Amino acid sequence: MHLSLYDTLNREKRPFVPLDPANVRMYVCGPTVYDFAHIGNARPVIVFDVLFRLLRHLYGADHVKYVRNITDVEDKINDRAARDFPGLPLNEAIRKVTELTEKQFHDDVDALGCLRPTVEPRATEHIAEMRTIIDKLVQGGFAYVAEDHVLFSPQAMNAANSILPRYGTLANRSLDEMIAGARVDVAPYKRDATDFVLWKPSKPGEPSWPSPSGIKAEGRPGWHVECSAMAWKHLGEQFDIHGGGIDLVFPHHENELAQSCCAFHESRMANVWMHNGFLQVEGDKMSKSLGNFVTIRDLLADWPGEVLRLNMLKTHYRSPIDWTLKGVEESAKTLDDWYWVAADVKGERPSDAVVEALSDDLNTPQMIALLHSLRNNAASGNDRDRSEFAASLRFLGFLSESAAQWKSRKQQASGIDMKKVDSLISDRTAARARKDFKESDRIRDELAAMGVVIKDSKEGTTWEIAR
């Protein structure tokens, strides 16, 4: 079976050759944890989960390492923490926000049938590696210290006469054009408009860490260097696949690539750069800032996660998706039928044709067409046909429930407004944080009246339907 993948950097589909087939390594940029993830955020999670499953199938489960980070230091997190927990010291409030959001994210993507990555590093646990990279960049002449900031200089990178790639190659933009098009109101500490931040001072009360050499005051890292550091720590100076949404190509991935190549004197960071296309909802662009985003949680209130997963995979990962209610309804019908045909069937080996379709740059539309014909074989054929169909579905992250569970869960989910439950629980958490126990008890009673039992633990509050 030959795997080929489209590489954003070389702009072509190429045969995939791992650096070390006994240790295939993939890094995907993960969530910034301050709010519920939206259905657009679910796309890279599902797409790269399918790739992870395929790689495990091709190279062996123990020979694939998938790293997806958690960005737990960022302005938006600080703002949310100050808003939600005004009575707490900022650092404590931040920890509450990131822990709660991380748990919500895990619950959501588990429900979407995604395997957990091999490692999920947190940015705040890799500050030492970030400082090391920054020091290397300064020593190499690619970065400089100015007014307690450290800035990376793309122009210094491109002036270096060496094996380094040219800045702008990934995004297919020329540095000269970027310089010409740069904004006029550039921060005064930057030598050139295209320089970007590796390290910056923290405001009083904000999270801060000892700074790289040459800066006395404590500070915090820029976003791009976080991923360079975590990828380096867990996957080495070079690895096989780097993924994320198409919006990350520039500046995030261009900058990651620049930092890592310059720090380690390498010609490349990853062998293959993969990017999923954007998701829009009912024909409209979705964005957190416009406030029209649909969270995974909202959708899970109405649909089993596997329905959302199937709906996502109907479109090839590099094309844009228009997420519509009609599409989700069709996916639900398909899965009801698949459960009916195969739910309680034991499966051994997924179909070769399915694996082959995925091996062609994750051709999931073709894979789904194949599943429909496997379904027909299974419905009219023998035990082998049914086993092949069931095994193919499980390999792809479907059929995690029995036929009976599938039916009863669908009924339950329709009875309770999960969105309301989540919003009441977060109100209650806030009430408890400000020691308003009267209000928190009242909310607990309101939830009980809805048939919802809540449980508090160190990790946060979970709920279940009262039996």
Task: Determine the Cα–Cα distance for residues 187 and 464; give it in Å rounded to an integer.
Answer: 51
The answer to the question of residue 32 lying near ligand AMP (CB under 6 A) is yes
CB 258, min distance to Zn ion, A = 13
Which residue in 47, 65, 42, 50 sits closest to 120, CA to CA?
65
CB 341, min distance to ligand AMP, A = 31
Stretch near ligand AMP under the rule CB under 6 A, chosen from 29-37, 308-316, 332-340, 425-433: 29-37
The answer to the question of residue 121 lying near ligand AMP (CB under 6 A) is no
- The residue at minimum Cβ distance from ligand AMP is 245
What stretch of H or E contains 311? helix 305-313
Site for ligand AMP in 262-301 (CB under 6 A): 276, 278-279, 286
Contact 89, 282 (CB under 8 A): no
Contact 202, 154 (CB under 8 A): no
Contact 423, 430 (CB under 8 A): no
Q: Pick the binder of ligand AMP from 120, 247, 356, 436 (CB under 6 A).
A: 247
CB 109, min distance to ligand AMP, A = 12
Contact 421, 450 (CB under 8 A): yes
Question: How many other C-beta atoms are found inside a 10 Å radius of the C-beta of residue 290?
Answer: 9
Q: Pick the binder of ligand AMP from 248, 257, 342, 452 (CB under 6 A).
A: 248
Pairing of the two strands 239-245 and 452-457 = unpaired
Question: What three-state secondary structure class fits 252?
Answer: helix
Site for Zn ion in 203-262 (CB under 5 A): 227
Would you give the binding string for Zn ion spanning residues 163-182, x where CB under 5 A is met? --------------------
Name the DSSP letter for residue 119. B
Task: Determine the Cα–Cα distance for residues 190 and 187; give it in Å rounded to an integer.
Answer: 6
Q: Where are the alpha helices (DSSP H) in 196-265?
A: 223-235, 254-264
Question: What three-state secondary structure class fits 148?
Answer: coil
Question: What three-state secondary structure class fits 279?
Answer: strand
Residue that is written with structure tokens 């998706």 in the block: 321
- The interface partner of residue 227, options being Zn ion, ligand AMP, none and the CB cut-off 5 to 8 Å by kind, is Zn ion
CB nearer ligand AMP, residue 272 or residue 355: 272
Q: Pick the binder of ligand AMP from 8, 41, 259, 311 (CB under 6 A).
A: 41
CB 218, min distance to ligand AMP, A = 25
Site for Zn ion in 29-88 (CB under 5 A): 29
CB 269, min distance to ligand AMP, A = 17
The answer to the question of residue 251 lying near ligand AMP (CB under 6 A) is no
Name the residues that contact ligand AMP, by CB under 6 A: 29, 31-32, 40-41, 43-44, 244-245, 247-248, 276, 278-279, 286
Name the residues that contact Zn ion, by CB under 5 A: 29, 227
